[in-house]
Amino acid sequence: MTSDGSPGALRRTGPIETRFEKELRELLGPRVDFGVPLSKHTSLRVGGPADALARPQDLEELQALLGLCSKLGVEPVLLGGGFNLLVSDAGVAGVVVQLQALRELDADSEGRITAQAGTSHSRLVRFAAERGRSGLEFGVGIPGTVGGWVAMNAGIPSVEVKDVVERVDWIAPDAGGIRELPRADLDFSYRSLELPRGAAIVRAVFRTEPGEPAAIRAQMRELLARRRETQPVDQRSCGSVFKNPPGDQAGRLIEAADLKGSRRGEAAISQKHANFIETRGDATAADVLALIELARGEVARRFGIELETEVRFLGRSPGEPA
């Protein structure tokens, strides 16, 4: 927003609040901040500031916030756990909406588990295991929150979110409240879910089956141990950088291109799994992006395969005015 309240950057050029800043403060109070570095809110720990970072406390406040964004012509950007995300060093224009306050979990007598979008994967999986409900074990060790999980159809080779989700609830400024989409109407594909433009996932309902808690926990331990053996789970990363091309694996191709351990600044292609980029110290988004382009270019040159990114890019282009 400019100082007269028209669409644009929200950063102040002086002590006068923009119209949008004023209305955000009136709506959210202490649950909105300005110029917040998103490096503090992403798993890679890189990225510039958000013009505004909003933290709605419940679904009603989220809906009011989306309505305000629509009224003033600002497109909100949703943020869950900050995984699978590369934020530009130049920051993000407009309003970033953090959903981590939306964490309600519930289970019914038929084994359906309802989780709000800000619920962490680990809490959801533990919740199911404690109740002797099987089917969500595959998610152990997959980082993120339910909203991101569903939006990217997270999973492992044998099972994905699309195989266990029964319903997805979403809202948008013009949706007239929370809308429900049953599984039959959900358009899932590999690492993607097609939703109406501007839709925000607010919760999902998962199908589960009865199981022995001890057996469920044993399977979870086995899956987590396998993940720890093969992926750099103890390092700063965004998860898998590239989608696996049909019939192959991105990590295998990057390793075959002799790129394991390649560095740019304070970022490196992981020695443990080549489809991960690790960051440390004062790494920048530009460091990570340089490695992404290196891997994509070398794999295309050597093998004729165009890798498609799984990580989501967010923010201003370098040099774009704030």
CA distance 191 to 147: 13
CA distance 294 to 290: 6
Which of the following is catalytic: 137, 160, 278, 310? 310
Only one residue has tokens 């406390």, namely 57
Instruction: Identify whether the C-beta of residue 316 lies closer than 8 Å to the C-beta of residue 264.
Output: no
Which of the following is catalytic: 240, 262, 296, 298? 240
Catalytic-residue membership of 130: no
Catalytic-residue membership of 61: no
Catalytic-residue membership of 310: yes
Instruction: Identify whether the C-beta of residue 54 lies closer than 8 Å to the C-beta of residue 32.
Output: yes
CA distance 76 to 151: 16
Q: Which long-range contacts (CB under 8 A, 24 or more apart) does 295-298 make?
A: 295/241, 295/242, 295/254, 295/257, 295/259, 295/262, 295/269, 296/242, 298/254, 298/257, 298/259
Residues with Cβ within 8 Å of 144's Cβ and at least 6 positions away in sequence, in order, are: 80, 81, 83, 84, 120, 121, 154, 239
CA distance 17 to 10: 9
Which of the following is catalytic: 191, 203, 264, 316? 191
CA distance 71 to 209: 44
Q: Which residues are catalytic?
A: 191, 240, 310
